[in-house]
Structure 1
Amino acid sequence: MESESESGAAADTPPLETLSFHGDEEIIEVVELDPGPPDPDDLAQEMEDVDFEEEEEEEGNEEGWVLEPQEGVVGSMEGPDDSEVTFALHSASVFCVSLDPKTNTLAVTGGEDDKAFVWRLSDGELLFECAGHKDSVTCAGFSHDSTLVATGDMSGLLKVWQVDTKEEVWSFEAGDLEWMEWHPRAPVLLAGTADGNTWMWKVPNGDCKTFQGPNCPATCGRVLPDGESSSRKRAVVGYEDGTIRIWDLKQGNSIHVLKGTEGHQGPLTCVATNQDGSLILTGSVDCQAKLVSATTGKVVGVFRPETVASQPNLGEGEESESNSVESLGFCSVMPLAAVGYLDGTLAIYDLSTQTLRHQCQHQSGIVQLLWEAGTAVVYTCSLDGIVRLWDARTGRLLTDYRGHTAEILDFALSKDASLVVTTSGDHKAKVFCVQRPDR
């Protein structure tokens, strides 16, 4: 049973090197990221070749809360709860979650209640509220060094807080927000909006660049890692018209544009890159996943699972069954890619032969997938409220975790893969301890 926590207890935050859970008093070692070169300020400085303009800051506030005991929520998925911690402060669906990359001891969640919270994974204790949003918070994330946390709502209001002081340090109002992401090695924030623009800011000084796409929403985007194949700072952005653009973040121009038959035949839904940034995977409502060379800008593979058949010609008044690519990603240790579909299909592809290796079926649509670092294990969350672990080598289900009473809307995985943090339509975020016999 979870005990109630007073709001003032957040000030007595224990050391961040370990996490202790109530259930079995297990101590989980947290693997810290190697900061490595280059210096973040140098990276940010290299992105100053386009005119910048300064933006005004807005002040935020903080509110405390009391951790609620874990209770059942009325719904159609009542059952066992495998979670160790439940965060219950949101009063509506929780749309997004991100973990601090340096220690993996803090989470930020955002929801339909126009609120975002930074809280501790070990006991669900609130650190502070990211206050001041005026619409559903759909994007949230920590900077590369965990010193800053950014939140963005659907109306396009973005805010950044200093984690240690809990103070708002930057704010900006863009167009309706589609996606948001921190640069992986610099205090630089990127976002895509419904007017087709991709924005890039240096935080907290607010220096700004825009990358103008086609006259339609920039639906997804990702900063490309700096691999041996390129010294340029690049990002890939997908658009509602099926176009894919690879941008040079330093020069402010598009390096490659894929459209027409090279692009997708419907809006892009997701994009992923491999470890060195040489390959890109894009997904769309056209049910195709395309493998693109980031160097040449050419499509080098197209993937579509065998069970996702083209819709037959429909008579008047008939509706087609909708399906789309919802999430995708690269395995870090084998030439494999995973693609998750709205119809519940998880497809594992062999990149070396460009063939379908396994198809794993879920009871309902897949929302997101993540690969475990250093293994061939892929995690999925779905609309049935369950997190599943799959062995991509065999296509076998390893285990699953339950506890939500509504669909899972987002999840995050700790660097050492010992924790899964989920958010749901049941107004809750949950922390699960991952235990596997082969670990």
Structure 2
Amino acid sequence: MEDVDFEEEEEEEGNEEGWVLEPQEGVVGSMEGPDDSEVTFALHSASVFCVSLDPKTNTLAVTGGEDDKAFVWRLSDGELLFECAGHKDSVTCAGFSHDSTLVATGDMSGLLKVWQVDTKEEVWSFEAGDLEWMEWHPRAPVLLAGTADGNTWMWKVPNGDCKTFQGPNCPATCGRVLPDGKRAVVGYEDGTIRIWDLKQGSPIHVLKGTEGHQGPLTCVATNQDGSLILTGSVDCQAKLVSATTGKVIFMVRSSAQDAPGSCWLPGWDVGHL
């Protein structure tokens, strides 16, 4: 990994008042509205677990699902471009590289595959541990993934050069590369948060105990310049962390009746903090 340039350019409850809701015209059942979609992609035969758009042109989508399949297709008309074949478990992660030349898919068993988009050819694959998350580097052909054994993996694609970042002895449940491309934040099942130096392979900051979360992390995000990190956990807390100092500067706790483990806080736009 030494030659990677991380600075490269870019049950239902009843109605309390006993009302009876009459089906409306054009409605399928009582809870669904009319289908007003412009394009439908219907090749999946079971639940779709992940979807991502290509960042360069926003004309392509990749989807993965419970049917152990992943597809790359065109947004304008839903035409299939190619199938990302070879998975034998539910595909839970999928995404395009920063320049949209590569697309990666990962399944629950830990099998990751990468295809060249223009040639539709598989160019790399790797079997890691049970997969928790996967993300491309924002500036280089580098793929990161977190697994149930606590490792965060980083590969240069397609040559396969690899680094691992060893966390605590529990799953690395979520992760995000910071916008500068030099650091990544990873959240773990034991509530700890680590900010890693990707070049050195060492943690810059570790938040645990009262500074971390009291339950598994479910999501992390950053603002546009990477100075702030927002974390969410099943402990019903969201914490805003300084990426520079590693200190918690703000915390929000949801009310007890809210479902824990939500993946986002309504009304928060991290990109404009």
Whether TM exceeds 0.5 here: the answer is yes
- Checking the alignment, whether the CA contact within 8 Å between 1:217 and 1:240 is kept in structure 2 is yes
Q: Deviations over 1:315-340 (max 9, x none)?
A: xxxxxxxxxxxxxxxxxxxxxxxxxx
Asked if structure 1 preserves the Cα contact closer than 8 Å seen for 2:23 and 2:30, the reply is no
Extract unaligned runs of 5+ from structure 1. Answer: 1-46, 228-232, 301-355, 366-379, 392-439
Aligned equivalents of 1:60 and 1:49: distance in 2?
62
Distance between the aligned counterparts of 2:158 and 2:20, measured in 1? 31
Cα deviation, residue 71, structure 1? 17
Alignment partners' CA distance in 2, 1:117 and 1:63? 46
State the partner residue of 2:10.
Answer: 56
2:91 corresponds in structure 1 to 137
- Structure 2 vs 1, CA of residues 63 and 185 (structure 1 numbering), >3 Å: closer, same or farther? farther
Aligned residues: 267
Change (3 A) 1:178 1:80: same
Stretches of 4+ aligned residues off by more than 3 angstroms: 49-78, 356-365, 380-385
Mapped contact 1:56–1:172 kept (Cα < 8 A): no
CA deviation after TM superposition for structure 1 residue 224, in Å: 0.4
Contact 1:243 1:257 in 2 (8 A): yes
Deviation at 1:64? Answer: 51
> What is the CA–CA distance in structure 2 between the aligned matches of 1:62 and 1:213, rounded to whole Å?
49
Report the TM-score when normalising by structure 1: 0.52
Once the two structures are superposed, residues 69-121 of structure 1 have per-residue CA deviations (whole angstroms, 9 ceiling, x without a partner) of: 99999987432112111100000000000001110000000000000000000
Instruction: Tell me if the contact between 1:64 and 1:126 (Cα under 8 Å) persists in the aligned partners.
Output: no
Given that 1:54 and 1:208 are in contact with CA atoms closer than 8 Å, whether structure 2 keeps it comes out as no
Q: Structure 2 CA distance, aligned partners of 1:60 and 1:192?
A: 42
Provide closer, same or farther for how the CA distance between residues 75 and 126 of structure 1 changes in structure 2, counting only shifts above 3 A. farther
Among 69, 86, 105, which residue is 2:59 paired with?
A: 105
Cα 1:66/1:190, change in 2 over 3 Å: farther
Q: Which one has more relative contact order, counting CA pairs under 8 Å at least 6 apart?
A: 1
Q: Does 2:183 align with 1:234?
A: yes
- Residues 124, 360 of structure 1: alpha-carbon distance in 2 compared, 3 angstrom cutoff: farther
Give yes or no for contact 1:60–1:130 (8 Å, CA) kept in 2.
no
The answer as to whether partners of 1:55 and 1:206 remain within 8 angstroms in 2 is no
- Go from structure 1 to structure 2 and tell me whether the alpha carbon gap of 1:359 and 1:288 turns closer, same or farther (over 3 Å shift): closer
Going from structure 1 to structure 2, the CA distance change for 1:205 and 1:217 (only over 3 Å counts) comes to same
Residue 228 of structure 2 contacts residue 242 of structure 2 at CA under 8 Å; is this kept in 1?
yes
Distance 1:222 1:56, change over 3 A: closer
How has the CA–CA distance of structure 1 residues 263 and 362 changed in structure 2, closer, same or farther, with 3 Å as cutoff? closer
- What do the CA deviations read for 1:132-164 (whole angstroms, capped 9, x no partner)? 001000000000000000000000000000000
Q: Distance in 2 between matches of 1:169 and 1:60?
A: 54
* Contact 2:5/2:140 (8 A) holds in 1: no
- What SS is found at the alignment partner of 1:382? coil
Q: How far apart in 1 are the matches of 2:68 and 2:135? A: 19
Cα contact 2:8–2:139 (8 A) shared by 1: no
Structure 1, residues 399-424: CA drift from partner, whole Å, max 9, x if none? Answer: xxxxxxxxxxxxxxxxxxxxxxxxxx
Distance 1:50 1:129, change over 3 A: closer
Call closer, same or farther: CA 1:196–1:65 in 2, change over 3 Å.
farther
Q: CA RMSD in A?
A: 10.6
Deviates more, 1:55-64 or 1:284-293: 55-64
Could you tell me how far apart the structure 2 residues matched to 1:213 and 1:169 are?
A: 29
Give the CA deviation at 1:183: 0.3
Aligned twin of 1:321: none
Cα offset, 1:226, TM superposition = 1.4
State how far apart, in whole Å, the 2-side matches of 1:64 and 1:183 are: 53
TM-score, scaled to structure 2: 0.82
Q: Secondary structure at the match of 1:360?
A: coil
Quick check: 1:61–1:129 contact (8 Å CA) kept in 2? Answer: no
1-structure distance, mates of 2:65, 2:189 = 24
Residue of structure 1 equivalent to 2:136: 182
